[in-house]
């Protein structure tokens, strides 16, 4: 069913939201200063007092007024600064590094004379391959060093524990891990059976595919409902699923299986549906991003559909999240989703503003999350780390050399 949208052109573009209440305008709208009940209602819809969406319009206007777009090739330096701030005065001691290594909370790497070495065992081989691809791309620019990369979903360094130097792909405010661009930009997941058995695939290739789909499914062609497909890795997703069951004209959201699925209970007491491609997401105007076990890998992909992203929660972050701002690049929701219907209605009734937010989110990703940006972040992060270590690295004979793999693209 195709929804009918009513778009009122009363200067709702950001930077020129005008809500006039002066006597001149009032007399123009209501001759002799007197309005019928119907005329009064129409007048008040576009005054600051009468517009039901004013709280959201104000949030958008304020966020964009305070936002300054990155104009350099190092947009994420503030994230690095935050990650390394606890070592700025004293540096990173060998004692802390050894403790992290002995606790077996990550994969041990060394860079020696322009070559990469790694411990033999890596529990997630494809994840290690994804990380190693980027390290090998920049290896000639790295000094001799050693570091530990966590390839599990969960971060490892709680803020109330010792500040161990461990790299992780995502974290919350309760952790102090050093963020790095996740393996999934090249290889290693997430696997979605049966359509992505080895993972979503390379970021650069998926970006091209989604760009082509977005060109076909332009904003005006998209279905004006919310869309979500994913497994029940977090119960935070339940309210959207339940809304979809109750009001399918508002949302199409359903659970799929994952590796731990055993019964209908694992998909909120209904049979799971088959997963869909990322390209299918581009058919819809409103796409939802939730945390999974940790930060969700789908987040960056959704923007490439040129759809409006609704991002739920704010605790879990990857290295680039800090530069993407609520109300500028996406619509934020609290984890309880208490205002989900209101925000979807806001987007439908303010289609032009929704499209502006969509465009800013899409443009940010295509400008500042290119493969060159990923390599650049790896390089600057590892060099900053190396500048803080306080010991001279000696080659560990137990580590094996990691060689570049053939690029079959």
Return the bridge partners of 333, or none: 312
DSSP state letters, 25-79: HHHHHSGGG---HHHHHHHHTTSTTT-TTHHHHHHHHHHHHH-----SS-TTHHH
For the chain, report the end-to-end CA distance as a whole number of angstroms.
41
Cis? peptide before 225, omega within 30° of 0: no
Cis? peptide before 194, omega within 30° of 0: yes
The whole-angstrom separation of Cα 186 and Cα 10 is 46
Is 246 a residue of the active site?
no
Nearest 5°: the CA angle 271, 272, 275 is 155
The phi, psi pair for 268, rounded to 5°, reads 60, 50
DSSP state letters, 248-268: TTTEEEEEB--TT--SGGGGT
Supply the DSSP symbol for 272: P
Burial label for 232, CB within 10 Å (0-12, 13-18, 19+), is buried
If you count them, how many residues does the chain have?
409
The whole-angstrom separation of Cα 373 and Cα 81 is 17
The whole-angstrom separation of Cα 353 and Cα 347 is 8
Supply the DSSP symbol for 185: G
User: Of 22, 83, 120, 153, which is the active-site residue?
Assistant: 153
Tokens of 276: 């869909």
CB neighbours of 320 closer than 8 A, spacing ≥ 6?
A: 75, 76, 79, 181, 300, 368, 369
Element of type H or E holding 402 = strand 400-402
Sheet with strand 251-255: strands edge to edge:
251-255, 223-230, 284-289, 308-312, 331-333
The residue among 328, 323, 318 whose CA lies nearest residue 359 is 328
Q: How many CB atoms are closer than 10 A to CB 135?
A: 21
Active-site positions read: 153
């Amino acid at each position: 069913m195709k929804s009918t949208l009513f778009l009122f052109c009363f200067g709702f573009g950001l930077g020129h939201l005008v809500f006039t209440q002066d006597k001149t305008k009032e007399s123009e709208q209501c001759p002799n200063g007197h309005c019928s009940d119907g005329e009064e209602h129409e007048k008040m819809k576009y005054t600051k007092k009468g517009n039901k969406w004013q709280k959201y319009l104000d949030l958008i206007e304020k966020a964009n007024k305070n936002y300054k777009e990155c104009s350099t090739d190092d947009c994420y330096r503030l994230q690095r600064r935050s990650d390394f701030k606890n070592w700025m005065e004293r540096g990173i001691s060998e004692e802390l590094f050894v403790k992290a290594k002995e606790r077996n909370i990550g994969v041990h790497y060394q860079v020696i004379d322009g070559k990469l070495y790694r411990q033999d065992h890596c529990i997630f081989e494809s994840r290690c391959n994804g990380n190693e691809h980027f390290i090998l791309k920049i290896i000639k620019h790295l000094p001799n060093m050693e570091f530990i990369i966590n390839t599990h979903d969960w971060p490892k360094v709680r803020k109330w524990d010792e500040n161990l130097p461990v790299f992780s792909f995502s974290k919350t405010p309760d952790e102090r891990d050093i963020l790095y661009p996740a393996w999934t930009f090249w290889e290693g997941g997430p696997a979605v059976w049966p359509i992505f058995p080895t993972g979503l695939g390379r970021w650069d290739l998926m970006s091209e595919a989604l760009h082509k789909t977005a060109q076909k499914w332009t904003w005006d062609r998209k279905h004006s409902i919310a869309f979500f497909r994913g497994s029940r890795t977090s119960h935070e997703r339940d309210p959207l699923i339940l809304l979809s069951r109750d009001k399918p004209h508002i949302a199409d959201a359903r659970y799929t299986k994952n590796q731990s699925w055993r019964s209908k209970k694992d998909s909120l007491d209904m049979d799971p549906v088959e997963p869909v491609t990322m390209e299918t997401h581009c058919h819809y105007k409103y796409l939802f991003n939730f945390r999974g076990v940790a930060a969700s890998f789908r987040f960056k992909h959704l923007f490439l559909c040129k759809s409006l992203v609704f991002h739920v929660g704010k605790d879990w972050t990857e290295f680039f999240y800090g530069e993407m701002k609520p109300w500028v690049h996406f619509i934020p929701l609290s984890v309880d989703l208490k205002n989900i219907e209101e925000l979807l209605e806001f987007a439908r009734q303010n289609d032009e503003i929704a499209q502006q937010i969509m465009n800013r989110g899409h443009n940010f990703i295509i400008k500042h999350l290119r493969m060159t940006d990923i390599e650049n972040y790896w390089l600057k992060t590892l060099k900053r780390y190396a500048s803080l270590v306080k010991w001279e690295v000696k080659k560990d004979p137990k580590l094996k050399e990691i060689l570049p793999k053939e690029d079959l693209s």
